[in-house]
């Protein structure tokens, strides 16, 4: 597990996190690689894993009938992929597909949820790390939903 903890420490997600906490959560983590175009998450599936992207790019997509998959966000090096593992019903609300070869740290969501329950300090640290990007993405999504650059918006 030490090796995994060291890899984890290189990711901005754990910046400022106590060594003990990093070691504790590293037990739920493993290294993964996704090939270009490989599906990582599928809308409606159980949110059993989430990912910290080490290197690569992932498209978050929604499938629109008659239009096919539409990318609404890309996440890249140093970012988090997946947040619905945190709260019931633990289901993905979009698809995620690797745009290029992507290396990530995968977390077993159930394992981490159990650790968050067992030690609320860990749970609080997780919340502090998940909320800022969630709020940032919410604000971005709000801007995107306004269709600011569309003809009617001018």
Partner 1 sequence: MLKPLDASAAPATANGVMTPHFATVTKRVREIPDVVTLEVPSNGVAFQPGQFNMLYAAGVGEVPISMSGDPARQDVFVHTIRDVGAVSRALTEIKRNGVVGVRGPFGTGWPVEQAKGKDVLIVAGGIGLAPLRPVIYALINQREAFGRIALIYGARSPEDLLFPKQLAAWNAIPGFQVEVTVDHATREWRGNVGFVTSLLGEADVDPDETIAMLCGPEIMMQFTAGVLADRGIGADQVYVSMERSMKCALGFCGHCQWGPAFVCRDGPVYSFDKIGPMMAIREL
Instruction: Convert residues 60-79 into a mask of x (bound to partner 1 by CB under 8 A) and - (unbound).
Output: xx------xxxxxxx-x---
Supply the minimum distance, in Å, between the C-beta of residue 144 and partner 1: 4
Burial 100-117 (b: 16+ CB within 10 A, else e): eebbbbbbbbeebbebbe
- Output the DSSP codes for 39-99: EEE-TTSB--EEEEEEESEEEEEEEETTTEEEEEEEEETT-EE--TTSSTT-B-SSEEEES
Told to check if 146 binds partner 1 by CB under 8 A, we report yes
- Per-residue x/- mask for partner 1, residues 2 to 41, rule CB under 8 A? ----------------------------------------
Residues contacting partner 1: total by CB under 8 A: 29
Distance from the Cα of residue 122 to its chain's centroid: 18
Place of tokens 């490989």: 38
**Judged by CB, which is closer to partner 1: 19, or 136?**
136
Residues that bind partner 1 (CB under 8 A): 57, 59-61, 68-74, 76, 97, 99-100, 136-137, 139-140, 143-144, 146-151, 153-154
């Amino acid at each position: 597990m030490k090796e995994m903890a060291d890899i984890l420490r290189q990711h901005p997600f754990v910046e400022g996190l106590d060594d003990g906490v990093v070691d504790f959560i590293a037990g739920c983590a493993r290294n993964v690689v996704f090939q270009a175009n490989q599906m990582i998450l599928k809308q409606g599936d159980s949110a059993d894993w989430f990912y910290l992207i080490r290197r690569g790019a992932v498209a978050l997509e929604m499938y629109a009938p008659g239009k096919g998959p539409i990318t609404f966000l890309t996440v890249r090096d140093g970012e988090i992929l997946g947040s619905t593992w945190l709260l019931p019903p633990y289901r993905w609300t979009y698809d995620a597909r690797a745009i290029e070869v992507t290396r990530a740290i995968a977390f077993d969501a159930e394992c981490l949820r159990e650790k968050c329950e067992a030690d609320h300090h860990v749970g609080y640290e997780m919340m502090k790390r998940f909320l800022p990007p969630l709020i940032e993405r919410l604000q971005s999504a709000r801007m995107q939903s306004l269709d600011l650059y569309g003809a009617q918006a001018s």
